[in-house]
Amino acid sequence: MIVGIDDTDSKKGMCTTYLCAVLVDELKGYGDVSTPRLVRLNPCIPFKTRGNGAVSFEINVTQGKEETVKEVVKAIVSELSEVQEEETNPGVVFIDDIALRAVKGGGSDEMNMHRLKNFYETAVRDVLEIEHAYEIISELQFDHFGLKKKRGVIGALAAASFLLVQKREPAYYDFTYELIAYRRKERWGTSRVIEEASVWNADEATYPVTWDTVDLANKKLVLAPHSPCPVLFGIRGDRVDALYKAYQLIRAEPTEREMLFVTNQGTDSHLITREEAKGTVHDHHSYILDGVVESNPRTIEGGHVVVALSLSQNAEEHIECMAYEPTKSFRDIIRQLRIGDEVTVYGSFKNRTINLEKIELWKLNVEALRNPKCDKCGKRMESAGRSQGYRCKRCKTYCSEKEVQIVNRGIKEGLYEVPPVARRHISKPLIRMCKQEGIGNIHPSR
Ligand code: ATP
């Protein structure tokens, strides 16, 4: 049986991954439980609490215990969810073995799998209505459970679908791991005790197989949340052995439990490619877009840096790109852009603005036009009037064209990213791109 769960936490407490960890440990008595999945869904969803995470796991239920397992899940979700908070609307989806066989059996196999795959991918990149989840749940005869508005069934079905696709084809989606350590209950809401030096040590011993544990440039630890939730810290990375190695090196307060998750974090799964976008953009979606810089960058109130872009695939589309203040030194890259630079931007779109996560500088505009110099006196000529060339009043010399000067740009072409302190869970760190795709000309921020 596959179990998907979402929307159990609030800004004031709880964490859906913790609830999942409790369940995984609790349910071991009823059959083998898989490594749970943690999926990050569309980061632009307005109702998210933090990182729009949802979870799922599979349990090989001992025969005759299916209903008991469902009851345990319902009881723990009901007990631990922050239902007193208005924005918490828990949802659970069960894909039991009969439903699973139906999904995988007969001629409709491919179609059903396709629907679920599509549901997960839409949940990561698009905005879904709850009716869409109910339609699939009812047609594929999945069992479900929810509290209040039950909006969590969207994320629950998406997380269960992700697991189902991975089960059939483990490498179908790019994936990473996170090892999360949870605090003892009596410490929830108090400040976290983590020995800083040990974290720097752990990072040094395991980077770049682990990443986003620290932010070197900003001298900050980024492995621990700042909310009153049960998470002590999480170590993210590409290999399980490296995660445990880092974990063993970190000295911190005693934990209640640890749980390893397979995740879609650090994969850029939320980004709609330039081919898919076809030059049109909509709010609450995230994109990879090619364009040409059409204004000089400005620093606005709050320290955010903004620059205008015309999209290559649709010259009618003019958007703004924003490097927000928390992106720190990434803003220096944006500040050095010039009109005419050819770039690719990565990020979420809202109110005609892309919130920059990465930028690739393809072709820097190194040409500057200046009034020509007089051959005789060497001084810059003046304009002789609109479209009438340039002249030197004193020497009576004339030139029809401006002079092209090559300017020395302070930046290099290549891919840049926001630093770990400002990175979204789902964004792929450039260090992963270097390793996976062997792309050069990458400037990882660390
Ligand atoms: P976490 O704190 O665990 O990182 P989150 O708490 O930020 O995640 P939730 O509290 O789970 O987010 O709230 C997100 C809500 O939005 C859930 O009810 C989920 O079902 C719903 N949701 C997720 N993705 C989509 C989507 N693409 N379209 C519509 N609703 C979505």
For residue 108, name the pLDDT band (cuts at 50, 70, 90): low
- Every domain range in the chain assigned CATH 3.90.600.20: 176-263
pLDDT score recorded for residue 104: 64
**Distance between CA 264 and CA 267 in Å, rounded?**
6
Distance from the CA of 259 to the center of ligand 1, in angstroms?
21
Does residue 101 carry a pLDDT above 80?
no
Distance from the CA of 54 to the center of ligand 1, in angstroms?
7
For residue 105, name the pLDDT band (cuts at 50, 70, 90): low
Q: Are 147 and 78 in contact (CB under 8 A)?
A: yes
Q: Which two tokens stand for residue 67?
A: 């209903």
Atom of ligand 1 lying closest to residue 154 CA: 20
pLDDT score recorded for residue 110: 79
Is the beta carbon of 45 within 6 A of some atom in ligand 1? yes
Higher-confidence position of 279 and 351: 351
Does residue 58 carry a pLDDT above 80?
yes
Q: Which two tokens stand for residue 285?
A: 């979606």
pLDDT score recorded for residue 47: 77
pLDDT score recorded for residue 195: 98
Q: What amino acid is encoded at 405 in this protein? A: Q
Distance from the CA of 147 to the center of ligand 1, in angstroms?
14
As a CATH number, domain 271-366+408-423 is: 2.40.50.1010
Find the mean pLDDT for residues 72-101. 93
For residue 274, name the pLDDT band (cuts at 50, 70, 90): confident
pTM score, two decimals? 0.94
Atom of ligand 1 lying closest to residue 127 CA: 28
Find the mean pLDDT for residues 230-251. 98
Kindly report the protein residue whose alpha carbon is nearest to atom 18 of ligand 1. 152
Distance from the CA of 223 to the center of ligand 1, in angstroms?
21
For residue 288, name the pLDDT band (cuts at 50, 70, 90): very high
As a CATH number, domain 2-168 is: 3.30.70.2200
H-type alpha helices, 40-191 = 66-80, 97-104, 109-125, 130-139, 152-168
Is the beta carbon of 6 within 6 A of some atom in ligand 1? yes
Q: Determine what percent of the chain is predicted with pLDDT higher than 70.
A: 98
pLDDT score recorded for residue 50: 84
Kindly report the protein residue whose alpha carbon is nearest to atom 11 of ligand 1. 7
Does residue 153 carry a pLDDT above 80?
yes
pLDDT score recorded for residue 46: 84
Kindly report the protein residue whose alpha carbon is nearest to atom 10 of ligand 1. 7
Which residues touch 40 (CB under 8 Å, ≥6 apart)? 51, 52, 53, 124, 263, 264, 265, 269, 270, 424, 425, 426
Distance from the CA of 266 to the center of ligand 1, in angstroms?
18
Is the beta carbon of 10 within 6 A of some atom in ligand 1? no
Q: Determine what percent of the chain is predicted with pLDDT higher than 90.
A: 88
Is the beta carbon of 12 within 6 A of some atom in ligand 1? no
Is the beta carbon of 224 within 6 A of some atom in ligand 1? no
Distance from the CA of 4 to the center of ligand 1, in angstroms?
13
Is the beta carbon of 267 within 6 A of some atom in ligand 1? no
Atom of ligand 1 lying closest to residue 17 CA: 3
Kindly report the protein residue whose alpha carbon is nearest to atom 14 of ligand 1. 48
Distance from the CA of 150 to the center of ligand 1, in angstroms?
11
Q: What is the pLDDT of residues 331-358, one digit of tens each?
A: 999 999 999 999 999 999 999 999 999 9
Find the mean pLDDT for residues 295-312. 96
pLDDT score recorded for residue 438: 66
Find the mean pLDDT for residues 191-201. 98
Is the beta carbon of 47 within 6 A of some atom in ligand 1? yes
Q: Which of 6, 134, 136 to mutate to test the pocket of ligand 1 (most atoms within 8 A of CB)?
A: 6
442 closest CA partner among 415, 423, 420 = 415
Q: What is the pLDDT of residues 248-263, one digit of tens each?
A: 999 999 999 999 999 9
Does residue 52 carry a pLDDT above 60?
yes
Choosing among 3.40.718.10, 1.10.287.470, 3.90.600.20, 3.40.50.10710, the CATH entry for 176-263 is: 3.90.600.20
**Distance between CA 155 and CA 177 in Å, rounded?**
19
Does residue 107 carry a pLDDT above 80?
no
Distance from the CA of 14 to the center of ligand 1, in angstroms?
14
**Distance between CA 278 and CA 316 in Å, rounded?**
12
Find the mean pLDDT for residues 63-77. 96
pLDDT score recorded for residue 361: 96
Distance from the CA of 322 to the center of ligand 1, in angstroms?
25
Is the beta carbon of 323 within 6 A of some atom in ligand 1? no
- Every domain range in the chain assigned CATH 2.40.50.1010: 271-366+408-423
Q: What is the pLDDT of residues 356-370, one digit of tens each?
A: 999 999 999 999 999
Q: What is the pLDDT of residues 8-40, one digit of tens each?
A: 999 999 999 999 999 999 999 999 999 999 999
**263: β partners:** 38, 176
Is the beta carbon of 41 within 6 A of some atom in ligand 1? yes
Which residues touch 218 (CB under 8 Å, ≥6 apart)? 328, 419, 420, 421
Distance from the CA of 229 to the center of ligand 1, in angstroms?
16
Q: Are 150 and 143 in contact (CB under 8 A)?
A: no
Is the beta carbon of 53 within 6 A of some atom in ligand 1? yes
Is the beta carbon of 42 within 6 A of some atom in ligand 1? yes
